[in-house]
Amino acid sequence: MARIARMKVKGEPAVYHVISRSTLQGFVLGDREKDFLMGVIMRLSGFYFAEVLGLCLMGNHFHLLVRMHPESSYSDEEIRERYDRRYGEEKGASLDDDQMRELGKKMADLSDYVKEIKQDFSRYYNKLHRKKGYFWSERFKSVIVENGETLINCLAYIDLNPIRAGLVKRPEDYRWCSLGYHAQTRNRGGFLSLDFGLREFGIKTGKERLRYFRRFVYEKGGLEGLERERKRDFEVGKAERFLLRTRYFTDSGIIGSKTYVSKLYLTFKDYFAAKREKLPKQITGLEGVYSLKRLAEVHGV
């Protein structure tokens, strides 16, 4: 079966939730492997036009929420500077205009960005463990995510992964997720964006946005503790309902407000293998959030 093209927004910034899993059995990403993978993502995000909003590296897969910016947002000087940082000024000086244009397209491309992350890590892992073959399973999933309320909900879902897996009680204790990286390194190198989808809500400073996001995650995840659950006799509340609906952040093709989803559906209509018109479906438990789902074979890298 021919590979179905990935949905990618052209000519404007767009946010994607990327998920990729290992083809190997068990929890093959230990502390050492996660540290290396984090470093790869950091390094390549400085080369590509990728603004990392959040991430979480788990034992057999990773989540990455990234805003890809179009090449039109960057001057030739900025493109050359990124190239020089990676390959050296001598190579950069030899680039002609056509090569610069192609380089700009590459730097703005989600597929190239994630492909390099996966390839760099695979080479490291196979060398470290003296293995051959594939580390990652098939294609990575990517969901287009609207800015604002949808984005911060998706970020919360990502940072709650180690909580759901029972690895830690607080996301700050897990250094391979967004809140863990912020808390334990004070966002070393400015690696993670301090946007959180909150700029449009008038929350101006990065410090304020980080504090708001932390409170949002604690409230969404119901991290207040067992005693609170006992007092309400384990009644399913908003936190549990939120966690039950989070699969839409990985299994949808597009997620956001009804207007946003409807608009992008017209752009990517041919990507959906359906005879009838598809309509945005409201996600129960996530007020104002809608999704369009694609067939399983579309979700792949």
Quick: pLDDT tens for 229-281: 355 454 556 666 676 677 788 888 899 999 999 999 999 988 876 678 888 98
Q: What is the pLDDT of residue 12?
A: 95
Tell me the CA distances in angstroms from 167 to 162, 267, 295, one per residue in order: 5, 40, 32
Percent of the chain past pLDDT 70, that is, above it, reads 88
Q: What is the pLDDT of residue 160?
A: 94
Of 73-77, 141-145, 203-207, 252-256, give the range with the top mean pLDDT. 141-145
Report the b/e string of 180-202 with b at 16+ CB within 10 A: bbbbeeebeeebbbbbbbbeeee
98: pLDDT strictly greater than 50: yes
Q: What is the pLDDT of residue 287?
A: 83
Beta bridge partners of 65: 17, 54
Of 2-11, 143-152, 167-176, give the range with the top mean pLDDT. 143-152
Nearest residue to 213 (alpha-carbon basis) of 180, 190, 189: 180
97: pLDDT strictly greater than 90: no
Largest CA distance in the chain: 69
Percent of the chain past pLDDT 90, that is, above it, reads 57
Q: What is the pLDDT of residue 234?
A: 42
Q: What is the pLDDT of residue 229?
A: 38
Model pLDDT for residues 174-197, shown as the tens digit of each residue: 999 999 999 888 899 999 999 998
Domains of the chain as residue ranges with CATH: 14-70+108-298 (3.30.70.1290)
Q: What is the mean pLDDT of residues 125-154?
A: 93
Cβ pair 158, 42 in contact under 8 A: no
Q: What value does the mean pLDDT of the chain take?
A: 86
Q: Which 3-state string (H, E, C) describes 182-225? A: HHHHCCHHHCCCCCCCCHHHCCCCHHHHHHHHHHHHHHHHCCCC
Quote the crossing angle between the two packed helices 31-45 and 110-129, to the nearest 10°: 150
Q: What is the pLDDT of residue 244?
A: 64
Q: What is the mean pLDDT of residues 40-67?
A: 97
The dihedral over CA atoms of 253, 240, 166, 154, expressed in degrees to the nearest 10, equals 30
The residue written with tokens 């604002």 in the block is: 148
How many residues appear in the chain? Answer: 301
Q: What is the pLDDT of residue 3?
A: 67
Q: What is the mean pLDDT of residues 280-300?
A: 69
CA distance 74 to 52: 17
Cβ pair 279, 266 in contact under 8 A: no
Residue 253 buriedness (CB in 10 A; 0-12 / 13-18 / 19+): buried
Q: What is the pLDDT of residue 189?
A: 92
Q: What is the mean pLDDT of residues 280-285?
A: 83
- Give backbone dihedrals phi and psi of 287, rounded to 5 degrees, phi first: -60, 130
- Give backbone dihedrals phi and psi of 61, rounded to 5 degrees, phi first: -160, 170
Quote the crossing angle between the two packed helices 149-159 and 206-221, to the nearest 10°: 60
Of 17-26, 169-178, 228-237, give the range with the top mean pLDDT. 17-26
Q: Which helix (H) or strand (E) holds 241?
A: helix 238-245
Q: What is the pLDDT of residue 95?
A: 79
